[in-house]
Each structure stands twice: as structure tokens, then as C-alpha cells.
Chains A and B, each alone.
Chain A
Amino acid sequence: MKRREFVQIATIGSAAIFQACESLESEPENKIEVPVGQEKEEIASACWQCVSRCSILAYKKKGRLVKIEGNPLSLRNEGKVCAKGQAGINQIYNPDRLLYPLRRIGERGSGKWEKISWETALDLILNGGEIEGSKVKGLRTIHNGGNPEKFLFHYGRMVGTDYTIIINYFLRAFGTSSIGNHDSICSRAGSIARMLTGDVTSSKKFDDVDIILNFGRSLIDAGIDHIPIIRRVSRMRARGVKLYTFDVRLSNTAAKSDKWIPVKPGTDLAVVLALCHVLMREGLYNKEDIEQTSNVKIEDLITHLEPYTPQWAEEISGVPANLLEKIAIEYGKANSGACTSFRGAFMHFNGVQTQRAIYMLDVIAGNIGPEVRRTKRAQWNFPFPMPERPEARLPVFNGDKGQFAVPDGSISHQILTQIKKGRGIPELYLVYCHNPVYANGNCNENIEIYKDTSKIPFLVSVDVAMSETTELADLILPDASFLERWTAEGKGTADGIPEYYFRQPVHDPLGESRNFVDVVCHLANELDLNLGFDSARDFIEEACKATEGIAEAGGFEYIKKHGIWHDKTAQVEFVKREKVNLFSERLNKSGHAGLPSWMSHPDHKKLNNNELIMTTFKVPVHTHSRTQNCKWLMEIYHENPAWINAATADRLGIKENDWIKLESSIGELITKARVTQGVHPNAISISHHLGHWAFGEFASGEKSFINIENDSDSKLVWWENNGAHLNKIIPNYGDPISGAMCWNDTVVSVTKIS
């Protein structure tokens, strides 16, 4: 960083900032020095911009990564990679990247830091010490003191052997099960529905059906398994498979469907119940199949579904009754069909019942079958004894007692409110690859709680770049980007062929950043946890020797060179299906309907003239919140106006590009209007991704204080608006059954700003 810039920053802030900057200034001017290698080099690695984790080829010129392509050997992504994946280069060379450990020297969140050595940072984590006059406990004291659960580990994304090493080895050996994830803001309502219902995997491959009913899933926009699913859906469309998409908004998936059927937010459940009703009424079912596949008697099902007529569903959802009739009959008469769904359908107040109703629809339509189709996924063998999962866990993961019917697992977006209520104090709270302040609802409350040193004495964040959460930490450790680390991955193809592959570094981590998995191995050694390995790479090399087929194929070196190894001997297995619990005893006992039944959101029953239901979505070029330092992606998508139906906009006097104010029970948001024919009249729809305030220059327009000015494109940024972040006005609700975040239910009053 240049001297002049320091002075500018220093004059804005206090003397303490100046001090901090002084300590940074003593470092070499340009921290990004990439190793000089061959003129052109190809490295087979794996993407990690999103959870799809496609296989990639990384190309370097003179030691610097310049291009990412799909690895043609992959049977999943077939040589293709999306916009996000290719912009992974921007993550490595992000000018606002964290390149050395930082310790807070002012109040939490004041933005005043000093650069410290790794030695000092590791000593702080291990042995505790002092942060701005307050004593904090380190891992050693927590481990030896008999309360290992006071080490709370909260991660956003961790995949492959990163997960195995940190969760299954390190944290188990340490003795803590105080582990938060991001499931409750992702797809928890869906996974709890599946847990309650049982294995509903069809006996048929998704790709082989004739008709698909899609409820609120952005299959080809931003689906889980993004590129692989695009490949599959493209082929299905070419084959003439019918695709009907029920969605609040005309997603790209809806646009590419045979029909888009707009649904009032939160009413997919009514639609699905009516489809079930029509199938039963029309006799488009097989009594024996239903009774053999599920735990309900046909008479009970008929009685249960009798009131859910298409006319009833039209009243609630706005979907015309005759259209529901038509689609139900087409679905019922098709040779084979499949429903698919995601957040749009189930991250709602009634989401668990919605997902269970979708399972019910496929049971009735005869799409499940008597057998479960089991495809094999890659199963690495790790030749190190894995410790037992410990019992010790802070009571902050399952909401208030009795608040949720099925609080199993971790309701992680409520960890902070549980801490605020005093349910448990994590002596050391480590955030890894996560940004709860931004990614959960009610951002302002999250900030307040993270700032409270009496509730969270020692907050550590391990991150690649500064974030809204990381800026509140006491200690920041710079992580290697996904292109600078060793991870062994394993997934499987739709045809059941396991794909074993590596994420390998394109070069050493920049600056002083370190692969956190290696840091964890070091911490484990210091704590005498005896994991049996010293680094991520060691671990993977040993796994290659121990995993059947890989050693014979050429082991570690083979995958290192080619990126992938396939177990082509694997067979798809068909196993007898356990009964599908269409009737859930557990729900029934907890006071909820045992059979999927209508539940209406109390706030949605009557909406005032300017009240709309705010829903969220993702665009193809961004992940939820981790790609906004990527300049190539921000150039494509940097503004997220609120989608408002043209008729609604007209009623409220709102025109295209007007500034509008959205007011929820917890706050206000100002953004632009996008007046469209592509959203339900009761909805207002805003994408995630944008409105970062602590990321760097490409995300927010503001350089962070660690910016190293290494990118000539910085001066060419032409967009001024960096979008708005809607989570600020979404409360951290949980749905009454699973406790999952209700992303798509917030009622907001909308007014034009004059």
C-alpha cells in the first residue's frame, strides 16, 4: 500500500488506525508475489465457488493463474464450468484479500487492527492472552479444563477432506460437538421433511422421466450441482421431457420450462394438496402401490384430501383451478414423472409440510416405486482411527425448549440469539468460511451480539477476505483460497459412477495465508490430540493408498496428474423400500398434522394495500454471499432491484427504476424497483448476493484498509450502485416444525420515495 493512501485513511479515522496502518506499512509493498513457473502450465483441480465442486483445469502463465476450464475427464461437469467457477481467479488475486494474521486493537468492529505474526496468532489461540485489556482463554485451557464444548466452531462451507479432517478428526479429538453450520439458512426444512418421511428416492433415474413438476427450484439458474444439472436438464429438454415450474418469480428455469405457473408466496402447499386431490378424485392411482409404499390406508388418504379442491387452492394460491386439474391429470397419466423442489417451496413457515406433500404427490402418482435406486458415491478410506463423536455441546443449537417440533441437528441461524439469551457462553467462538452477520437474517442484531464480549469472550474468524462477520473478530487468520489448497473430493454421477478427485493448489497460498486444515493439524499436534497425520496433503496421500482401486490405478500421482479417477466397476443397486411415512407419528405427537395438511402463515391472511410478501432468489453468476469480490461477476450483476409486478407497481404509483422503501417489522430497506410481468402480484422479490459493506472494492465500491492495489481493473469499475442487502429486514424466524429460516415469508410495506 502506498504512503499517500495510508495518510488518506488515517485522516478519516483515529490515531489508532494510523498506528495500525503504520504497522502494516512496514511490510513489502506488494504482497502478491506469485512463484515464477513454466511459461504455460496445466493443473487439474476442483472448483469450490459453489457446492457443485466441478472438476477443473487451471492454466497458469509465468506462474500466475490466468484461466479456468472444466476438466473434460469429469463425468459430472463434462468439461464445462460456469461463470462463477471461471471467476475463481478473482478470489485468489482479490486486492482486498487477507494476507496476514490481524489482531484487534480497538473496540470490536471499530476497524482498528495490528498485523501480527503467525507465531503470535497461534499462541493466542492455543494459550489465550489479552485482547485490548481483556483476558481470553485459549484452546489449551478449554481442552484441559473439562469443558471442551466451550469451543464453538461455526462454519459455512466445508467440503471433502477439509470437513473430514476438521469435524471428524480434530473437533472430535478435541471433545466438542458445539458445531454450527449453515443448514438452517439453506435447506433444513427440506432435510427435516425427508427425515420425517423416510427414503423417498425413486426407483427411476430423474433423467428418465417424462414429466417434471418443479416447485420453487432454480434448477438451471443456480441449482445444487449447477453444471451437472444444467447438462442433464438440457438433455432432458432436448428429449422433450415436459417441465412445469411453479414459482413466485419467472426464474430462468421457469423461462425455460414448458410453462411458468406463478404462485402466491407461501402457498405451494395448497397447490400440491390440490394436485393430490385431483389424482385421488380421478382415480389416477394404484391402491396397492400406495399402501405398499407408504404407511397410509387409501380410505384415510381420500378423506384427508377431499377438502383440498382445485377451487380451494385457487383461492389461496392464485393458480387457476382448471390449470391445476389439467396439470394433475397430465402428471397422473404420464408413464413416469418426478417432482423436484427447493428453497422457493420449502423455506417457508409451512415448508416441512410442503415438502412432505410433494413426497405424497409422488407416492400417489406412483413415481416412487417399491425399490430405492442407490447410486454409489465415492467413498474414500481414511487409514487413521476416527475418534467417537463427543457428547459435550453447548445448549445453543436447538432453539428454545419446545419452540420447534423437530429441533434435531443444528438450527444455526439462531445460535446468536440463544447466546444472547444466556443459554451458553462459548469461551472461544471460531467462525470458519462463514459470514453469519450477513448470511443470516436480522444483520443488525447479529452485529450487536457478536460485539458483546461478555457473551462471546474470544471471537476468531478464519477467512480469505474481510467480511461483515470477520470485521468483528478479535483475531483474523488468513485462509488459503480454494485454488491454493489440498482437498480430496468424492461425488457420484447420475449413472452411479463414483468420481474421486482432488482440489490441488495452483501455487502456494499468497502472502502469509495458510490452508486452515494445515493450521488445524498444527493445533492438534500442539494439543497432543494425536490425529496421526500432519497436513491435508499427508492425509490425502495416505487415503489414496488405502482406498480400493486408487492405488492400483496409480494412486496419489495418478489423480494429481489427471485430476480424477472413476470407479467404473460400481453398480447401481436397488434395495427394498422401507415404508414411506406419509403419516408422521412424530409430528402428530407434537401437535402438528400427521398427514401433510394446509398451514397458512398468520401474517399472510390479510395484506394491506401496500403490503407485499418479500421473497429471495439467486442469479446464475453469484453464490449467496461469497463471490462478490469477483470483478468479472460483479460487472455482470452488481445491482439487485426489487421485482414488482407491473399491476402492483401501477397501483402503488411505482415506475421502473424508482427508488422504493421496503419496511418490515425490524427495519427498512431502500432499493430500486424493477417493474416486471415476471413476478406474482403479491410478491416483491429481491436477489441475495449484494449490498456488502465490509467486502472489498469490487463488492462495495470501497477499498478495505488491507487493499494492496494490485489490479489495474480497479480504476475501470464503471458501476456505482452495489445493490441492497435484504437480510437486514428479515427476522431470524424459524418455521414451527424444523426451525429453518423462513426466507420467503416477510411481509413488507412498499412505498415510493419521492
Chain B
Amino acid sequence: MVMDLEKCIGCHACTVACKSENGVAIGGSRTRVLEQEHGTYPETSRFFLPMMCNHCEDAPCIKACPNKAILTKENGIVDINKDKCMGFQFCLSACPYGAIYINPDQEPDDYVKDYPARTLFKADKCNFCEERLEVGLDPSCSNTCPADARLFGDLSDPNSKVSQLINGEKLTGLLMEEGTKPQVYYKDGRPDIFKVSKAINNK
């Protein structure tokens, strides 16, 4: 996933797309959009930062889980095995991006109870809408983004749509200094944004 911060307009279409696609409960969140204001009046600006699980190559959540419930799949997706998750919550504090939440204690309605995101007391986070990927669809957030700011694809394939769109531009990730090797990339001409993101996460 590549987030084009220049294009993101802070509309939250992705937030709701994720909520409905995955049946995420109120209080839970697999993706969100942060806002930050910069500068001094009248030279003021506002930046938007879509955030989600970074599917890190070196994922701290995997190391933190005492029951080995989090794994990296062959396709690179970092996923939570709901059967093994005991709800210990170590992964929540291990993740520097705040991308994991614990599903709340509330018996879900019939129509959502089959959604993995509704498994009671279990950790939950983005899985790139794997069921959609399997049938050739983009993740729900990319699919609806009206500003085309969330691009999904295979960056290692130079012919993929996402590679073409990036066109060799330098990409960076969030909190690179954490050494997590995030697989969600951010495209933007303003490195100051990334300092911001750390500040937000430390709040």
C-alpha cells in the first residue's frame, strides 16, 4: 500500500469503507486518518495522515505475542490468528503505529458475528482485506478513495499499477527509526510530515 499524502484530502471515505467491509465495531478501528495543523497564522497548513497496520517485515507485534498468534503469511500480510489470540494485548503496546485494538466485550448482532473483526476479546487489525484480494479486488479503503491517495499493489513488480504510479519516486515509511521495515509506504515531498506522525503516536 502506498499512501500519497499530497493527494489525501482527509475525507474519511476509507475509514467508513473499512468499517462496513469488515464489520468493525464502534470503538474499534483498522484504519484512521489523522489531522495536524502547522504554521502560524496566516501561514497555516493542515496535513492528513491515513494510518493502518504497516504489515512490517520486522513486526514488533509478532515478537510481543506470547502465544505466537500473529504471523507473516507468504503473501506478506501480517495476520492475527483469532484461534490462538488470548487477548493478552502485548501487541497493542508493541505496535508503534497504534494499529491494533482489542475487540470490545459486546455480543455482536447476528449479521456481523461471522466477521473476524467481531471475535470477542481478540486483537484485531487490518489484513489488507485479504478476502477481497483473493478475488482480485483492491482493499476496501483503496477501492473507495475518491482522491486516489491509497494505492494498493505489488511494488516489486515494475509493471504493476502501483509501481507505474510511483514512477520511481522515493518512498518512505512511518517511524523508520523503529526498525520495523513497514510495508505501507508514504509518498510525499515534505519529510516534516513524518516527524509529525511520531508526535501524534506519542500523544
Chain A residues near B17: list those with CB within 8 A: 69, 86
A716–B26 contact, CB under 8 A? yes
Known: A262-B42, A678-B44, A712-B106. A82 touches B148 (CB 8 A): no
The interface residues of chain B lying within 8 Å CB-to-CB of A62 are: 111
Q: Which of A659-689 contact B (CB under 8 A)?
A: 676-678, 681
- By a CB distance below 8 angstroms, the chain B residues around A373 are none
Q: Which of A61, A238, A256, A647 is the one whose CB lies under 8 Å from B111?
A: A61
Residue A363 is within 8 A (CB to CB) of chain B in the complex: no
Pairwise interchain contact A677-B13, C-beta atoms closer than 8 A? no
User: In the assembly, what is the distance between CA of A83 and CA of B50, in Å?
Assistant: 14
Q: How far is the CB of A720 from chain B (nearest CB, A)?
A: 13
B156 at the binding interface (Cβ < 8 Å): no
Q: Contact at A83–B12, with CB atoms within 8 Å?
A: yes
B-side contacts of A631, CB under 8 Å: 26
User: Which residues of chain A are near B147, meaning CB under 8 Å?
Assistant: 220, 230, 234
Q: Which residue of B26, B41, B112 is within 8 Å of A645 (Cβ)?
A: B41
Across the A-B interface, the 3 shortest Cβ-Cβ residue pairs: A255-B46, A716-B26, A80-B146
Q: Are A635 and B37 in contact (CB under 8 A)?
A: no
Contact indicator per residue, chain A 48-75, by CB within 8 Å of chain B (1) or not (0): 0000000000000110101111100000
Minimum Cβ distance to chain A for residue B12 (Å): 4
Q: Quick check: is B11 within 8 A (CB to CB) of the other chain? A: yes
B108 interfacial contact with A, CB 8 Å: yes
A64, B37: Cβ atoms closer than 8 Å: no
B175 at the interface (CB under 8 A from A): no
Complex contact B144–A234 (CB within 8 A): no
Asked if A621 is at the interface of the complex by the 8 Å CB criterion, the answer is yes
- Please name 17 pairs of A and B residues whose Cβ atoms are closer than 8 Å in the assembled complex, sorted by A: A66-B20, A67-B21, A69-B143, A69-B144, A79-B143, A80-B13, A83-B13, A230-B147, A250-B44, A252-B46, A260-B45, A620-B9, A620-B12, A636-B12, A712-B106, A715-B106, A716-B27
Per-position binary interface string of chain B over residues 22-53, scored 1 when its CB falls under 8 Å from any chain A CB and 0 otherwise: 01011100000000010111101111100000
Find chain A residues with CB under 8 A from B145 CB.
Answer: 80
Q: Which of B9, B16, B45, B143 contacts A632 (CB 8 A)?
A: B16
Q: Is the CB of B7 within 8 A of A250?
A: no
Do B37 and A678 touch (CB < 8 A)?
A: yes
Q: How far is it, in angstroms, between the C-alpha of A351 and the C-alpha of B15 when the chains are bound?
A: 36
A272 within 8 A of B: no
Which of B48, B106, B144, B146 counts the most chain A CB atoms within 10 A? B146
Of B7, B37, B41, chain A has the most CB atoms within 10 Å of the CB of B41
Q: Are B12 and A716 in contact (CB under 8 A)?
A: no
Residues in chain A near residue B178, CB distance under 8 A: none
B33: min CB distance to chain A, Å: 9
Smallest CB gap from B20: residue in A = A67
B20 partner residues in chain A, CB cutoff 8 A = 66-68, 86-87, 89, 632
Contact at A250–B46, with CB atoms within 8 Å? yes
Could you say which of B9, B104, B108 contacts A220, with CB atoms under 8 Å apart?
A: B9
Enumerate chain B residues within 8 angstroms of A66, measured Cβ to Cβ: 20, 23, 111
Query: Is A87 within 8 A of B9, CB to CB?
Result: no
- Is B74's beta carbon under 8 Å from chain A? no
Q: Would you call B9 and A86 a contact (CB within 8 A)?
A: no
Q: How far is the CB of A647 from chain B (nearest CB, A)?
A: 7
Q: 14 additional contacts, CB 8 Å, given A677-B41, A713-B26?
A: A68-B20, A79-B143, A80-B145, A82-B11, A83-B12, A83-B13, A86-B17, A227-B146, A230-B146, A255-B45, A262-B41, A621-B12, A633-B16, A636-B16
- The answer to whether the Cβ of A646 comes within 8 Å of any Cβ in the partner chain is yes
Q: Which of A83, A620, A715 has the most CB of B within 10 A?
A: A83
Residues of A contacting B111 in the complex (Cβ-Cβ under 8 angstroms): 61-62, 64, 66
B19 interfacial contact with A, CB 8 Å: yes
B109 at the binding interface (Cβ < 8 Å): yes
Question: How far apart sit A69 and B46, CA to CA, in the bound complex (Å)?
Answer: 28
List B contacts of A256 (CB < 8 A). Answer: 9
Q: Which of A201-249 contact B (CB under 8 A)?
A: 220-221, 227, 230-231, 234, 238
**Taking the nearest CB of chain A, how far is it from the CB of B181, in angstroms?**
30
Q: List the interface of chain A (C-beta within 8 A of B).
A: 61-62, 64, 66-70, 77, 79-83, 86-87, 89, 220-221, 227, 230-231, 234, 238, 250, 252, 255-256, 260-262, 620-621, 631-633, 635-636, 645-647, 676-678, 681, 710-713, 715-718
Which of the listed residues B15, B26, B107 has the most CB atoms from chain A within 10 Å of its own CB?
A: B26
In the bound complex, what is the Cα–Cα distance between A66 and B111 (angstroms)?
Answer: 9
Within 8 A of A (CB), among B109-168: 109, 111-112, 140, 143-148
Complex CA–CA separation, A255 to B46 (angstroms): 5
- Complex CA distance for A681 and B42, rounded to whole angstroms: 10
Cβ B12 vs Cβ A234 within 8 A: no
B182 at the interface (CB under 8 A from A): no
A710 to B147 alpha-carbon distance, docked (Å)? 35
Closest chain A residue to B114, Cβ basis: A61
Instruction: Evaluate contact between B44 and A86: CB separation under 8 angstroms.
Output: no
* Contacting residues, chain A, for B46 (C-beta < 8 A): 250, 252, 255, 678
Residue of B with least CB distance to A72: B143
> How many angstroms between the C-alpha atoms of A238 and B6 in the bound complex?
9
- Chain B residues closer than 8 Å to A636, beta-carbon distance: 12, 15-16
Query: Beta-carbon contacts of B68-112 to A below 8 Å, as 1s and 0s?
Result: 000000000000000000000000000000000000101111011
Roughly how many angstroms separate A717 CA and B15 CA in the complex, as a whole number?
17
CA–CA, A64 and B17, complex, Å = 17
Shortest A254–chain B CB gap in Å is 8
Are A646 and B41 interface neighbours, CB within 8 A? yes
Q: Residue of B at shortest CB range from A634?
A: B26
Chain A residue at smallest Cβ distance from B109: A712
Min C-beta distance of A705 to chain B, whole Å: 22
Does B173 make an interface contact (CB < 8 A)? no
- Determine the distance from Cα of A260 to Cα of B44 in the docked complex, in whole angstroms: 8
The answer to whether A635 touches B13 (Cβ under 8 A) is no
Assembled-state Cα–Cα distance A245/B176 (Å): 35
Instruction: Tell me the complex Cα distance, A633–B40, Å.
Output: 30
A681's closest neighbor in chain B, by CB? B41
Contact flag A82-B9 (CB < 8 Å), given A68-B20, A647-B41: no
Do residues B15 and A83 form an inter-chain contact, with CB atoms below 8 A? yes
A261: chain B residues within 8 A (beta carbon): 42
Residues of B within 8 A of A250 (CB): 37, 44-46
The residue of chain B having its C-beta at the shortest distance from the C-beta of A82 within the complex is: B13
Cα A681 to Cα B26 in complex, Å, equals: 37
Report the separation of the CA atoms of residues A712 and B111 in the bound assembly, to the nearest whole angstrom.
Answer: 10
Q: How many angstroms between the C-alpha atoms of A676 and B46 in the bound complex? A: 11
Q: Counting CB contacts under 8 A, is B10 at the interface?
A: yes
Interface pair A677/B37, CB less than 8 Å apart: yes
Evaluate contact between B109 and A711: CB separation under 8 angstroms.
yes
Q: Which residue of A lies closest to B28 (CB)?
A: A716
Q: Tell me the complex Cα distance, A631–B45, Å.
A: 30
Taking CB as reference atom, which chain A residue is nearest B39?
A677
Measured CA separation A712–B107 after assembly (Å) = 7
- How far, in angstroms, from A501 to B73 measured CA to CA in the complex? 43
Complex alpha-carbon distance, A61 and B83, angstroms = 25
Distance (Å) between the CB of B47 and the closest chain A CB? 8
Asked whether A230 lies within 8 Å of B104 as measured between CB atoms, the reply is no
Asked if A260 and B26 sit within 8 Å, CB to CB, the answer is no
Q: How far is the CA of A77 from the CA of B45 in the complex (A)?
A: 28
Inside 8 A of A67's CB, which chain B residues have their CB?
Answer: 20-21, 140
**In the complex, what distance in Å separates the CA atom of A678 from the CA atom of B43?**
9
A80 to B144, Cβ gap below 8 A? yes
A105 to chain B, nearest CB (A): 33
Q: Evaluate contact between B42 and A234: CB separation under 8 angstroms.
A: no
Contacts of B11 in A (CB 8 A): 82-83, 220-221, 230, 252, 620-621
Q: Give every chain B residue within 8 A of A632 (Cβ-Cβ).
A: 15-16, 19-20, 26
Given A250-B37, A262-B42, residue A710 in contact with residue B109 (CB < 8 A): yes
| Distance A632 CA – B108 CA, assembled complex (angstroms) | 16
Measured in the bound complex, the distance between the Cα atoms of B26 and A722 in whole Å is 16
